[in-house]
Amino acid sequence: MSLELFFIYDSHCPWSYATTSLVNELAQAYPEMDIKLLHCAHYIGGDSAGQQQVDAVREISQVKFGREHLRFTNSPKKSTMTANLMGWVQAKQPAKALEVLNAIGQAHFIHGNPLGCKNDFTEILDQTRLSAPNKVFKDELSNDANYVVEDITEMQEYMGTTSFPALLLVTGEKGILLNHQLYLENPQAIVEAVALELKG
């Protein structure tokens, strides 16, 4: 039986950052699961999640936020280059995508890295042993990133929601939308929930 997990997220969204811990748990529990990470490129430089959302995430999840991130939490965010990088990784080296996303989360939410220029990605690329092409480091969405956004639009029609982050578990012909907020306080619980869904 095929088992797929689609994770719709934005790298600069604190809720997505917290939900990544659930994806990590599922990846560990189900190594055969095909995980597709879909960056929705929501933040385009005009707004940010803001302090209120960060405080809400801190209240119900186990993830940490660094001082440098908290200093600029209300500053406008732009996730275009990250969407380009993740689109390229998902297309060319999908086995590394979750490792890269975790490194991005650490860089942005712990160390306050804005991920807004090529140099901001140097340490992440070194850490994950990747050599990304220059097309990733443009200020507009790449073809890979645009394909991902198109896929997300189709999936959102199927799911009946445009909210993100979103976790869609697909087994055989059946799609199950997982409510990430139920598991943020105890990420391990999502493994048990998926096990019950697969039995049922």
DSSP single-letter state for residue 163: -
Q: Which residue has the tokens 């697969």?
A: 198
Note down pLDDT in tens along the chain; length 200 residues: 689 999 999 999 999 999 999 999 999 999 999 999 999 999 999 889 999 999 999 999 999 999 999 999 999 999 999 999 999 999 999 999 999 999 999 999 999 999 999 999 999 999 999 999 999 999 999 999 999 999 999 999 989 999 999 999 999 888 999 999 999 999 999 999 999 988 87
**Residue extents of the structural domains in the chain:** 3-199
Whole-structure pTM value: 0.95
CATH code for the part of the protein at 3-199: 3.40.30.10
Sign of CA dihedral 162, 23, 101, 19: positive
If residue 29 lies in a helix (H) or strand (E), which one and from where to where? helix 14-29
CA gap 183, 108 in Å, rounded: 23
